[in-house]
């Protein structure tokens, strides 16, 4: 009886050991079935354009190709929404702002540690711009000019306009001076500056990645324009000093002046005692000049050509004794 009991105990122990061994083997074999995922793909890459419309990138090999809409301002950076393979990680992560150019490289790391890199590749779908100068027979320094065209990007950081002289020197006409700026038209004044001389210039338009040049066009000298402070009083025999822009004065040498009586362009006195510097025109009022007021005068050169006119209906100058 005692021997039988011992035999049963031994069999129980052997059976228990076999079960334990089988369980451990099963657990080990099950663990081997859960291998790390080797997937490291970008499944989806989405951004928004300037109008908040969704743009889905095309993932081709190692390129993330984004087709940017025409005529929209090209951003310096984007904030994409990215979906990658299951259990993979991406750097830079989804939702992080990145540069919108090919310097941006994404790294996708699979669960098993394998790595794949993707290069951001913007494809700018920008049509070629075109333009014409509207007032091509009358472009004048100091006056407003206009060009009309198409496919112009309305962003002064992306669109620039230049005058190009005969020596290929470029003079930028800054966007901050644009009076009208649309996809099809730009209006701006030709600045009164020593950098711009009279003569023939081409106009170069750079917008986004495109540029086009037209011309040459003639740029004419500025007309003489002056301002006399309201309420100016000058005595007969004294000098009336009229400020003048140096650039304007360079093109408009004044030989004599006609000062008109109020309300009339027939009664006038011609004054030849005129001195001109780079910044002022000095007119000596004759001692015989009537004691009156005047709201109009004309300036002439030695060829009797009218260079310009001053007129102020409500703030005349006053001549006194």
Task: Give the pLDDT confidence of 245-259 residue by residue, as tens digits.
Answer: 998 999 999 999 999
CATH number reported for the structural domain that contains residue 242 in this entry? 2.60.40.10
Number of C-beta neighbours around residue 224 at 10 A: 23
- What is the domain-level CATH number for residue 77? 2.60.40.2340
* 63 part of a folded domain: yes
Both tokens of residue 76?
């310096």
Q: What is the pLDDT of residues 128-159, one digit of tens each?
A: 999 999 876 679 998 999 999 999 999 999 89
Band of pLDDT at residue 313, cut at 50, 70 and 90: low
Please state, as a whole number, how many other Cβ atoms lie within 10 Å of the Cβ of residue 59: 15
- Is residue 59 a part of any domain in this protein? yes
Is this model's pTM higher than 0.85 or not?
no
Domain boundary among 71, 105, 124: 124
227 occurs within a structural domain: no
112, 138: one domain: no
Which of 173, 188, 220 is the C-terminal boundary of a domain? 220
266 contacts 298 by C-beta, under 8 angstroms? no
pLDDT category of residue 71 using cuts at 50, 70 and 90: confident
Instruction: Give the residue from 124, 139, 154 where a domain finishes.
Output: 124
Residue 19: its H or E element:
helix 2-33
- 258 found inside a domain: yes
Whether residue 7 is contained in a domain is answered as no
Is residue 23 in some structural domain? no
For residue 75, pLDDT beyond 80: yes
pLDDT of residue 15: 54
- Both 313 and 280 in one domain: the answer is yes
CA distance 88 to 92: 13
Strands of 317-320's sheet in order across:
233-235, 317-320, 293-294
Residues 75 and 91 in one domain: yes
State the Cα–Cα distance between residues 224 and 242, nearest whole angstrom.
12
Give the structural domain span for 306. 233-320
Dist. CA 78–CA 242, nearest whole Å: 56
Residue 30 lies in a domain: no
* Residues 115, 69 within the same domain: yes
Residue 253 has what pLDDT? 95
- Residue in 152, 148, 126 with CA at minimum distance from that of residue 209: 126
Q: What is the mean pLDDT of residues 13-40?
A: 64
In a domain, 10, yes or no: no
Q: What is the pLDDT of residues 89-128, one digit of tens each?
A: 999 999 999 999 999 999 999 999 999 999 999 998 889 9
How sure is the predictor about 5, in pLDDT bands with cuts at 50, 70 and 90? low
Domains in the chain: how many in total?
Answer: 3
């Amino acid at each position: 009886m005692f021997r039988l009991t011992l035999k049963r105990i031994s069999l129980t122990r052997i059976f228990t050991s076999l079960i334990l061994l089988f369980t451990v083997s099963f657990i080990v074999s099950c663990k081997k079935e859960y291998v790390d995922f080797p997937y490291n793909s970008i499944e989806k890459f989405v951004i928004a354009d300037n109008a908040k419309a969704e743009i889905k990138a095309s993932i081709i090999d190692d390129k993330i190709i984004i087709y940017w809409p025409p005529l929209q301002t090209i951003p310096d950076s984007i904030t994409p929404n990215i979906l990658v393979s299951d259990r993979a990680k991406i750097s830079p992560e989804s939702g992080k702002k990145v540069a919108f150019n090919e310097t941006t490289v994404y790294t996708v790391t699979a669960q098993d540690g394998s790595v794949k890199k993707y290069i951001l590749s913007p494809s700018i779908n920008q049509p070629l711009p075109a333009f014409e100068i509207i007032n091509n027979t009358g472009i004048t320094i100091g006056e407003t000019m206009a060009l009309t065209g198409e496919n112009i990007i309305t962003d002064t950081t992306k669109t620039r306009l230049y005058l190009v002289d005969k020596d290929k020197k470029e003079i930028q006409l800054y966007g901050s001076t644009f009076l009208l700026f649309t996809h099809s038209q730009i209006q701006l004044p030709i600045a009164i500056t020593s950098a711009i001389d009279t003569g023939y210039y081409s106009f170069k338009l750079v917008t986004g990645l495109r540029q086009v040049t037209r011309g040459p066009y003639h740029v004419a000298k500025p007309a003489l324009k002056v301002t006399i402070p309201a309420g100016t009083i000058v005595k007969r025999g004294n000098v009336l000093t009229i400020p003048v822009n140096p650039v304007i004065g360079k093109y408009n040498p004044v030989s004599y002046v006609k000062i008109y009586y109020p309300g009339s362009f027939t009664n006038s006195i011609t004054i030849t005692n005129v001195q001109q510097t780079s910044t002022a025109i000095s007119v000596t009022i004759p001692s015989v000049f009537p004691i009156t007021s005047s709201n109009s005068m004309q300036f002439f050169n030695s060829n009797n050509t009218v260079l310009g006119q001053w007129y102020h209906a409500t703030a005349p100058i006053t001549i006194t004794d």
